[in-house]
Structure 1
Amino acid sequence: MSNPLDDLILDLIARIEAGVPPWRQAWKASADPRMPLRSNGEAFSGSNAWLLAFAGAMRGYRSPYWFTFRQALAIGAPVGKGEKASPAILYKTRVVGEPSERSEVGAADDSGDPRVLRYLKTYSVFNAEQLTDCPRAFLDIVDPDPAARIAARNAVLDAIPARVEFGGGTACYVPALDLIRLPHPHAFDTRDDFLATKAHEQLHWSGAAHRLDRTFGKRFGDEAYAFEELVAEIGAAALGLRIGLAPQLLDSHAAYLGHWAKILRHRPTALLEASGHAQRAVDYLLAFSAQGAVTDLAD
């Protein structure tokens, strides 16, 4: 049975095998990442947030607004001829095993109780810049004040109560000590490099047994560590969307690229599984700051 995201996953695998995680490459030559917005101004969340941010950045769109074909028609701005859609994810649930469905094979478990099946569908969306005669309100995007953006980045990351030890030349989370080790900020090329690295390690910190208890040994075996790195990579990118922080690549993470491609080839659903764990980690970390306390990130 094919996955609705097969084409996207194959594209991601190709980019990973080329040597650069696509959620990092996307912002190399573009502005700060922006949280993708629906046509009504509500923010996308979960996997859709980083998937659409990645698609928009790769194609050079500045507008964060995305529309379905019908939503574009509703504002009198039809999709331009030949424009390529981007996939968004819609999760559906279905209860099987109710009396009317008991005849279906596998409709209920051995207890006879109904089961809830969760499955995904994809739908097509287009950026505001792909529409014809799109209203300027969706195109004239005002860049945030740099000083305010920096203050927001620091406030969110500093509110996370992880114990951090500075010094040395390695960035890592040490589970046995429940401790993050980071080089001194001045050892990084830029302040954003330091903050992105800090965010990545804070994602690992969130997975401790007494926090989110994120372990993958039974399901992924020798690739469990690589999968945890994938979760942290996606999570740091998703957290960066919230605070305008473009993700950075550390040389020490390059060894995981081949593992990620292998995992996605053998288990395509791993991408969405990693995204789900990453989103839960981002929610957990944002809850420590005022921004996290007042913002709902749930799908």
Structure 2
Amino acid sequence: MAYQRESKMDQISSELAQKFIAALKEETLPWSKGYDVNYHPPFNPATGTVYKGASNVILLLNNIEKGYTDPRYLTFNNAKDLGGHVRRGEKGVTCIRIQPKTINITDQEGKVILDENGEPKQRELLIPCPYTVFNVAQIDGLEHVLKPLNLAAEKHQWDPHERAEELIKNSQAKITHSEFRDIVEAPCYSPYLDQIFMPERYQFKSTERYYGTLLHELCHWTGHPSRLNRFDEKAHNLGFGRPEYAKEELRAEIGSSLMCLTLGIKHDLDDNSKAYVKSWIKVLENDPREILKAAAQADKIATYLRQYDIVKEKPKEPLLKPYQGKVHPQDIENVKQQAVERIDLNVKQRIFDFSPVKNQEKSIPTQTSLER
């Protein structure tokens, strides 16, 4: 099972890395050609889960490649529990869920190491678990449950540039603008000074390019020890062209792209970012799994910056809380009523086990289809 999971992870990493490498060789990013002013983060309407980390990037690319305009995705069981069904022949997209697992720490001989209280020392592992989801466009029978989304109506109550300006202001990042080349040769963030240096706004080719660049530097700014803590104390000595330097630049570029999509600002690689393309390609060719790490970190960066956005994302109300397993006879009507209250769904489509319960004990409802 572990071998199969590793093999699947390698396949996901390789496919995603190849998409990035192909786009980078054209000096662009995979989603640039599919830019949508009405972008909405992919989410699961059954559970209310907004897909995070690498899954967010994977589903974004899947929408662009397949031409889907709906950001909603469901697992096979989600669709079934909502009374729908995935159409025959449709292929899902594989995402990644991180499952924490606590293990005992052992020495070189395999013996468990104990702490001062005689208890086993433990550490937490983060296990990547692949799973498959389908866009709602691939699912029939959901018309009575899912209403069409009007993304255009939800977006841009604020001007994108004004919204970006407010986000930057709310972050309270220290930003210095200067037109003098002896002070600012190129946009940059200094971890040592915890300060962003930018040329003057008029020196950029467009307003989009200005905000795209500043958001890129703001993504670096999140790495400070007082924020997301991605840099060690020697981070300011990282040299151009080194692998760690290239990895951080890739995280910031993907993160700023996600932020531009969120704000409604068109974003392309600028001349400064294009200087890193060869090093990014080299990193991905040497280790395809690095794209999953970069995508996960980029989404974490974007999530951190969204706290400063004047437009707050509303929590997704889950549509589905299915009852599975045995239900005590006296609770049947109550369970049905809760199902009706939770969702406008024909109760006849739900399957309840009315067989006698052993020892007349109530079983605890499970939610296996809500794992993600």
Tell me the TM-score range normalised by the shorter chain: 0.7 to 0.9
Q: Which secondary structure does the structure 2 equivalent of 1:287 belong to?
A: helix
- Using the TM superposition, give the Cα deviation of residue 236 of structure 1 relative to its aligned residue in structure 2, in angstroms: 1.4
Q: Which is worse superposed, 41-50 or 144-153?
A: 144-153
The answer to whether the 8 A contact 2:209-2:270 is kept is no
- Using the TM superposition, give the Cα deviation of residue 19 of structure 1 relative to its aligned residue in structure 2, in angstroms: 4.1
Label 1:135 to 1:157 Cα distance change in 2 as closer, same or farther (>3 A): farther
Q: What's the counterpart of residue 102 of structure 2?
A: 95
Q: Which is worse superposed, 13-22 or 220-229?
A: 13-22
Is 1:240 aligned to 2:244, yes or no? no
- Using the TM superposition, give the Cα deviation of residue 200 of structure 1 relative to its aligned residue in structure 2, in angstroms: 0.9
The letter for the 2-side match of 1:38 is N
Q: What's the counterpart of residue 77 of structure 1?
A: 84
Alpha-carbon distance in 2 for matches of 1:294, 1:68: 22
Q: Which secondary structure does the structure 2 equivalent of 1:93 belong to?
A: strand
| Aligned pairs (5 A) from 1:184-203 | 184=201, 187-189=204-206, 191-203=207-219
Q: Among residues 113, 135, 146, which one is paired with 2:156 in the alignment? A: 146
Structure 2 residue runs of 5 or longer lacking an equivalent are 317-371
Q: Which secondary structure does the structure 2 equivalent of 1:135 belong to?
A: coil
| Aligned pairs (5 A) from 1:54-133 | 54-97=61-104, 106=110, 108-109=112-113, 112-133=120-141
1:181-218 deviation line (CA, Å, top 9, x unaligned): 145257334x3333222211111122245544423789
Label 1:180 to 1:90 Cα distance change in 2 as closer, same or farther (>3 A): same
- Using the TM superposition, give the Cα deviation of residue 156 of structure 1 relative to its aligned residue in structure 2, in angstroms: 2.0
Structure 1 residue runs of 5 or longer lacking an equivalent are none
The letter for the 1-side match of 2:86 is V
1:138-158 deviation line (CA, Å, top 9, x unaligned): 544341353435243432233
Label 1:62 to 1:25 Cα distance change in 2 as closer, same or farther (>3 A): same
The letter for the 2-side match of 1:200 is H
Q: What's the counterpart of residue 48 of structure 1?
A: 55
Label 1:268 to 1:185 Cα distance change in 2 as closer, same or farther (>3 A): same
Is 1:28 aligned to 2:36, yes or no? no
Alpha-carbon distance in 1 for matches of 2:28, 2:143: 29
Is 1:263 aligned to 2:283, yes or no? yes
- Using the TM superposition, give the Cα deviation of residue 38 of structure 1 relative to its aligned residue in structure 2, in angstroms: 0.7
The letter for the 2-side match of 1:173 is C
The answer to whether the 8 A contact 2:84-2:141 is kept is yes
Alpha-carbon distance in 2 for matches of 1:295, 1:245: 23
1:50-106 deviation line (CA, Å, top 9, x unaligned): 2212221232211010000111122333222222211221111222339xxx9xx85
1:18-65 deviation line (CA, Å, top 9, x unaligned): 243899332423422221111234422233222212221232211010
The answer to whether the 8 A contact 1:39-1:71 is kept is no
Is 1:229 aligned to 2:249, yes or no? yes
Q: Which secondary structure does the structure 2 equivalent of 1:13 belong to?
A: helix
Alpha-carbon distance in 2 for matches of 1:210, 1:94: 27
Q: Which secondary structure does the structure 2 equivalent of 1:154 belong to?
A: helix
The letter for the 2-side match of 1:113 is K
Q: Which secondary structure does the structure 1 equivalent of 2:102 belong to?
A: strand
Q: What's the counterpart of residue 319 of structure 2?
A: none
The answer to whether the 8 A contact 1:36-1:44 is kept is yes
**Count of paired positions:** 293
How large is the Cα RMSD of the aligned pairs?
3.8
- Using the TM superposition, give the Cα deviation of residue 128 of structure 1 relative to its aligned residue in structure 2, in angstroms: 1.0
Q: Which secondary structure does the structure 2 equivalent of 1:232 belong to?
A: helix
Q: Which is worse superposed, 32-41 or 226-235?
A: 32-41
Q: Among residues 167, 191, 203, which one is paired with 1:156 in the alignment? A: 167
The letter for the 2-side match of 1:154 is E
- Using the TM superposition, give the Cα deviation of residue 289 of structure 1 relative to its aligned residue in structure 2, in angstroms: 4.6
Q: Which secondary structure does the structure 2 equivalent of 1:35 belong to?
A: coil
Q: Among residues 19, 22, 30, which one is paired with 1:18 in the alignment? A: 22
The letter for the 2-side match of 1:4 is K
